Structure 1
């Protein structure tokens, strides 16, 4: 099972980096597999630390993949050389236990050394799930046919229309604008806009 989370890391100079990333759990260990090139990977290798953030603010997922908003408030982690989202519901602090290197997608085995809860989970929301799925689509535009993206976004739009609040509508706007922007750029460059879109 893969859980969609926000991973925060810090560079050697303390600069925070925020990235949506799927995580797998193996007991007290978390498995991360970032694609190269990756600021998250570089920061973890340098600091041997990262933080998993659990949040229902899906603007963070959409903002990161579209580059519409990437500067979310962070605080210093409690026990590792990293940062956490200031407004997360909870977070887990991780230390690097093992790195299985790969030229495309290294596997990081991270040990959970500390957890904190900050706010209650208010329940599932279909629009939030739709934004996360939409963000994944946007992150893969370079490999997906345009008609597949259109079909999936049209289905996800149903949940947005029925259950979205202001934050979800903002995030959804960023995603749809990113798709339109990319297709415009692809068409301007003479690419096969009708068949494949790229991010």
Structure 2
């Protein structure tokens, strides 16, 4: 049986109050939320430093695409009951406090207790282009691990949903992802020794 993972955006703050925004798949376990950030990561460092995080439910997929393409400066508002911030564009948010940490060399498991929840806007429904942007963001986050032909074929398939259902925000996000793939390929070509270049 597959473990159900929900794509969200986590906001944390450093010990000095500097905010950090990162997409993260989370698991729900009753009243707790399980986070499994990789080591090393700013998100992990911040949760361990402050004991808190805020889970944001967003449909503005520019946040997902932006975070994996170097655009992490998103408008925030103060959290109400934990040391942290929430995204201003969040449809809803859940403020979390660290309850238990199970260490691991690669991905520790953080059991987070729900402290406060709030709804800020109505969910209007799913848009296929939003799902395509999230999948594209996952591909871009793994460019160093995946073969180029796999990335190309999956991006080509996702392009169908973008072409058919994207609004302006999804088109902008998709453009950032395509640019990131092109930059990655250009950097790879620049690393090829001259004698091996095609």
Name 1:3's counterpart in structure 2: 6
Matches within 5 A, 1:24-103: 24-67=27-70, 69-103=71-105
Q: How far apart are residue 102 of structure 1 and its match?
A: 1.3
Q: How far apart are residue 88 of structure 1 and its match?
A: 0.6
RMSD: 0.8
Matches within 5 A, 1:149-168: 149-168=151-170
Q: TM-score, with normalisation over the residues of structure 2?
A: 0.94
Name 1:194's counterpart in structure 2: none
Q: How far apart are residue 141 of structure 1 and its match?
A: 0.9
Q: TM-score, with normalisation over the residues of structure 1?
A: 0.94
**Distance in 2 of aligned mates of 1:183 and 1:75:** 37
Q: How far apart are residue 13 of structure 1 and its match?
A: 1.2
SS in 2 for 1:104: coil
Runs of 4+ with deviation above 6 angstroms: none
Q: What is the aligned counterpart of 1:144 among 143, 146, 149?
A: 146
Name 2:190's counterpart in structure 1: 188
Q: How far apart are residue 75 of structure 1 and its match?
A: 1.0
What stretches of structure 2 of length at least 5 have no aligned partner?
194-198
Aligned residues: 190
Q: Deviations over 1:131-159 (max 9, x none)?
A: 00000000011111111101100000000
Q: How far apart are residue 86 of structure 1 and its match?
A: 1.2
Q: How far apart are residue 14 of structure 1 and its match?
A: 0.9
Name 2:196's counterpart in structure 1: none
Name 1:19's counterpart in structure 2: 22
Matches within 5 A, 1:167-178: 167-178=169-180
What stretches of structure 1 of length at least 5 have no aligned partner?
192-199
**Distance in 2 of aligned mates of 1:124 and 1:164:** 11
